Structure 1
Amino acid sequence: MNEKVLTAAKVLYDFHHQERPTNHADFILTMGSHDLRPAEHAAELFLQGKADFIVAAGGFGKITRDLWQIPEAEKYAEIMRAAGVPADKIFIENESTNSGQNFQFTKRLLASKQITVRSGLIVSKTYLGRRAMATAQRQWPEVDWYIDSPAIPFEQYPTVDVPLERMIALMVGDTQRLLTYPDRGFQVPVTMPDRVLGAYEYLIAQGYTTYLQ
């Protein structure tokens, strides 16, 4: 992979990685994906006392529908229980297929259990952070949202299970959604610097278009 592609990808990665940590929130919402590290990180945060319970959210997404036999939320819950999170502190929302539904369906789940929350701590893929927060603020604005995702440098993020080529294509798709989803009512608007737009357009020109809509 040429250096210009890597440089542009890092620009997107650094832009999408957003943090707003907190000492405590009412609950943690983990946004499911093919990357298992958010589940591990959510377990760590819970065991540090950062929240009272966890919602593992996610059914089968565009990648996991071809990879796993069980929904993302159930896979995440397995990991969190193995890490020491009590089973009765994990609620499972296993029907959502996109980021907006992660919040919509979790809101519905908690309402069905008559659980009221005022603050939430999002745990997502590192490079989904900015879109996760923008989505939460639109879909569930009554909650004060924080976000704390795995602090992994761009160079160390790709793995066998999270290949670099796919990761770049996903970031390009998420950048497009930040640009188009506010007008569709899915997310709050996000200001995008020129250098991020330039990196996005360059990567599209290089063929990273798999997850564009």
Structure 2
Amino acid sequence: MFGGLTVTDEETDFALTLWDYMMLHHKVKKSDIILVLGNHDTRTAEYAAKLFLDGYADWLMFSGDEGVLTKGKWDKTEAEVFGEVAITMGVPKEKIILETKATNTGQNVSFSYHVLQERDLLESLRSVTLIQMPHMERRIYTTFMKQWPGDATALNVTVSSPPISMINYPNDHVGTLHDVVTVLVGSLYRVKVYPKAGFQIPQHIPKVVCWCFEKLIKTGKYSGHMIKI
């Protein structure tokens, strides 16, 4: 995906520091809706479907058309692919809501709001569980709290992801460890710079996390998911 370069032991240690920071370690609890923000890893859909089937939500929603990481990957939208995964696992089709136009995280949030509004589900919405890949947790939380058209602070927001370690995360969908670390570095970069652009709420980033981030950037191997704003 990004070149498949080797990740050294030292770089792995740096990346693990970023990985732990990007995860929020929320405890999953019952919510009104589980919202999965589109990505290139169907394990997020499987995880969300399992939570729904275990009684953790009344609705299961998937958001996403095609994004940077899924461009040309599927012949259907992210939401449709994920919805099919959930149905295969036993989630009733009538309990699944699809938002199929979003092409970035901010749109995942705002477009999902409007779909729920059209279905008259906003008035009763008190809690939401956001699902993404582990190294995207903090990014989707900060985006949701900024981009949700309603009062996000009035909602009980939980963020979760498949319980898989960074070392075990690579697979045919997300690529090699180098690919995973590249996306991780790009996600942290967005947490750093997006608040000034008005896309996310600001976060405190510990010095050790910034130091590890800079070490990875200086290798010249992990800039494939960076973005100019």
TM-score, scaled to structure 1: 0.96
User: Which amino acid in structure 2 is aligned with residue 118 of structure 1?
Assistant: R
Aligned to 2:146: 138
1:54 aligned residue = 60
* Structure 2 residue 42 is matched with structure 1 residue 36: yes
Superposed displacement of residue 22, structure 1 = 3.7
Equivalent residue for 1:16, pick from 11, 22, 26 = 22
SS of the residue 1:54 aligns to = strand
Match for 2:160: what amino acid? D
How many Å separate the matches in 2 of 1:29 and 1:60? 17
Say if 1:19 and 1:149, in contact at 8 Å, map to a contact too. no
Q: Is the 8 A contact 2:35 2:130 kept in 1?
A: yes
Whether 2:112 is the aligned partner of 1:106: answer yes
Cα offset, 1:37, TM superposition: 0.7
**Match in the other structure for 2:11:** 5
Pair 1:149-2:155 in alignment: no
- The worse-fitting range, judged by mean Cα deviation, of 126-135 and 13-22 is 13-22
Aligned to 1:181, which of 186, 194, 201?
Answer: 194
Alignment partners' CA distance in 2, 1:187 and 1:94? 22
Aligned counterparts of 2:119 and 2:22: Cα–Cα separation in 1: 33
Amino acid at match of 1:125: M
Write out per-residue CA displacement over residues 125-178 of structure 1, whole angstroms, 9 at most, x where no aligned residue.
Answer: 111001111111112214321112111111111113222122111111111110
Tell me the amino acid that sits aligned with residue 67 of structure 2.
G
Deviation at 1:8, TM superposition (A): 1.1
Query: Is 1:167–2:180 an aligned residue pair?
Result: yes
Moved more, 18-27 or 124-133: 18-27
> Quick one: which of 171, 192, 202 aligns to 2:205?
192
Confirm whether residue 68 of structure 1 aligns to residue 80 of structure 2: no
Amino acid across the alignment from 1:158? P
Aligned residues: 213
Deviation at 1:74, TM superposition (A): 0.6
Task: Give the structure 1 partner of residue 137 of structure 2.
Answer: 129
Q: CA shift at 1:124, angstroms?
A: 0.6
> Structure 2 stretches of 5 or more lacking a match?
1-6
The code of the aligned residue for 1:181 comes to Y
Give the whole-Å Cα distance in 2 for the aligned partners of 1:21 and 1:104.
25
Q: 1:184-203 CA distances to partner (integer Å, 9 max, x unpaired)?
A: 22111111111111111111
Normalized per residue, the structure richer in helix is 1
| Distance in 2 separating the partners of 1:82 and 1:11 | 36
Q: Could you tell me which runs of 5 or more consecutive residues in structure 1 were left unpaired when the two chains were aligned.
A: none
Q: Secondary structure at the match of 1:156?
A: coil
1:136·1:145 contact (CA, 8 Å) conserved in 2? no
- After TM superposition, where is structure 1 displaced by more than 3 Å over at least 4 residues in a row? none
Structure 2 counterpart of 1:203, one-letter code: L
1: CA distance, partners of 2:19 / 2:28: 22
SS in 1 for 2:26: coil
User: SS at the partner of 2:167?
Assistant: helix
How far apart, CA to CA, are the structure 2 residues paired with 1:161 and 1:55?
Answer: 21
Q: Secondary structure at the match of 2:29?
A: coil
SS of the residue aligned with 2:61?
A: strand
